[in-house]
Amino acid sequence: MDESGISSKERVTVVAAVIVNADKELKAVEERVESIIAKYVPEKYQEGFSFHATDLFHGGGRIFDRRQYLLETSHEILKKLLRVTGEFRLPIVYGYSEKTSLLELFKKVPPRHAAAIHHAYTYSMCVVAAERYMREKAQQSELASLVVENNDNSQKAIKMIHALMRSRNLDEASPALVSDLKQMAPGCLPITKIVHGVYFASKEDSVVLQIADACAFTIRCFLEEKPGIGEFRDVLTGNNPQALKRDESKDFAGYNILCS
């Protein structure tokens, strides 16, 4: 899982996850991303390198500064990362929430803490999407574990909300939050197909996080109606933009499942 839109400048936060079968798909996916690094990143920077979607889209960072590196090439790299999901038919799940509406509920909380709560809440949307996928689409015997991009500010809040979602005493623990989640994903709580706690890692440690980052960035920019995102949206959805359309019946948050 990786997020996009956690800074104060963005209106929407998205947490996205790419579901990969560790036994059948992970090695091939890793090799695919490593081949993209080998092709486009200078050799002296390849060790421990990770792609960041915002750098590729805007032309920034140490490698992809648009003053030194063609923006068209950076955009092609971002598309290649997005195409990995279609190439390997990897399901994508994501949660989203608008900052303005949610942070209004926590206006008396220090901004740093409010941001962590918002991130964790959006994370919970992605988790229920993953749980729903595992219950409805995966083999009955299959279980999942979560690898999440390390974020020092949100890590504690994410651990707490994850433990809550696994709890057998949900209604006693946090009635308001649980009621919201149950309404959005009936029958998916407590989570049972997602086992263990949360594993935190950096993009350098997990190439799948780099793909999740590309997905989260593209979805957020689509939901915010950012200019120039259309071609990346089309790559992600296979020219089906309706696949990313938000549920207007939900006030400010929701989740979605994309299957190739």
User: Given a cut of 80, is residue 178 above it in pLDDT?
Assistant: no
Asked whether the beta carbons of 190 and 130 are under 8 A apart, the reply is: no
CA dist., res. 122 & res. 1, Å (int): 11
Name the band, by pLDDT with cuts 50, 70 and 90, for residue 179: confident
Which amino acid makes up residue 83? R
Name 24's Cβ contacts closer than 8 Å, sequence gap at least 6.
none
User: Given a cut of 80, is residue 97 above it in pLDDT?
Assistant: yes
- Beta-strand ranges (E) seen in 91-224 are 92-98, 144-149, 194-201
CA geometry: angle at 72 spanning 224 and 69, to 5°?
A: 110
Q: Which residues of 99-131 are buried (b: 16+ CB within 10 A; e: fewer)?
A: beebbeebeeeeeeebbbbbbbbbbbbbbbbbb
Asked whether the beta carbons of 253 and 102 are under 8 A apart, the reply is: yes
User: Given a cut of 70, is residue 250 above it in pLDDT?
Assistant: no
Residue 96 three-state SS: strand
Beta bridge partners of 144: 194
Name the band, by pLDDT with cuts 50, 70 and 90, for residue 249: low
Asked whether the beta carbons of 55 and 78 are under 8 A apart, the reply is: no
What are the tens digits of pLDDT across the range 114-131? 888 889 989 999 999 999
